[in-house]
Amino acid sequence: MSDTKALVGEDAASSVVLADNLEVLRTLPGESIQLIYIDPPFNTGRRQQRQSLQTMRAADGTEGSRVGFKGRSYTSIKGALYGYDDAFEDYWEFLEPRLIEAHRVLAQSGTLYLHLDYREAHYAKVLLDALFGRESFLNEIIWAYDYGARTKKRWPAKHDTILVYVKDPKSYFFNSEDVDREPYMAPGLVTKEKAERGKLPTDVWWHTIVSPTGREKTGYATQKPEGILRRIVQASSREGDWVLDFFAGSGTTASVAHKLGRRFLAIDSNPQAFDVMQRRLAGSNARFIESELP
């Protein structure tokens, strides 16, 4: 894509792009994005074959020490994940270069939110600690919900994990005052004024999934509720800031960013996702750009 450098900047408009996200990410200016939220494929295939932990390879193919956050060198490890029926032969070989680019394009005050399920979250934290530095880890958010089938052979899994990393732990932006508040679980234990105002969310978010019959539903299988994204966008970006989602799916991040006065760049390689976002964001004045996918 020849015009991707114009996708972000002072004079650029919000965009939805149908393309390989890595191809687009590599053309974006460094430190140009305030907030990145991504909800990549969860890689939940039943057949799982895991190799033992191994040294992470550097970009030139060598092993061992790499230059990381603020020029410090480190040796990191990751799990090589093979054999998933529903996604990729090597999930982390797919995701790692995209996270490297996410770190590069993130502004000094910026924040990355990586949304995964319990099968991959621990591997992601090892990788992000290596890329960002452990001191840049801000939160592990647990999104808990109560919907869907239940097993009787173990505790039913009813939560997702959102890992939060900042580019610079000394200068990141976080505005808790703008975050939508939620009811106290025991309002009788606080003053009337506090109960009426509500409390700030903690790192455990109780929030329902998108209702199958609700107005928010787009029909896209992995759609996330706007209430979750509102908290993220409100806390970690300002009006006019750039918000990036390069696994954009149904366009929830873009929709919320638009409603809150942020500029957005939404990227997905799935034509179905692109069609859904065209309908959902028709009134946003965003550009819709179709790349020639292989």
Q: Give 100-136 pLDDT, tens digit per residue.
A: 999 999 999 999 999 998 888 888 999 999 999 999 9
Of 79, 13, 64, residue with least CA distance to 254: 13
Structure tokens at 253: 């991040």
Question: Residue type for 45, please?
Answer: G
Pairwise pLDDT comparison (230 vs 62), residue with the higher score? 230
In the chain, where the domains are located: 4-290
Please give the share of the chain, as a percent, with pLDDT higher than 70.
81
CA distance 197 to 176: 14
Condensed to tens digits (0 to 9), the pLDDT of residues 69-79 reads: 444 443 443 33
Structure tokens at 92: 């982390």
- Predicted confidence band at 211 (pLDDT cuts at 50, 70, 90)? confident
Q: Mean pLDDT throughout 243-263?
A: 97
Interacting residues of 177 by C-beta distance below 8 A, sequence separation 6+ = none
Question: Residue type for 151, please?
Answer: T
pLDDT value, residue 73: 42
Which CATH entry fits the domain spanning 4-290: 3.30.710.10, 3.40.1440.10, 3.40.50.1700, 3.40.50.150? 3.40.50.150
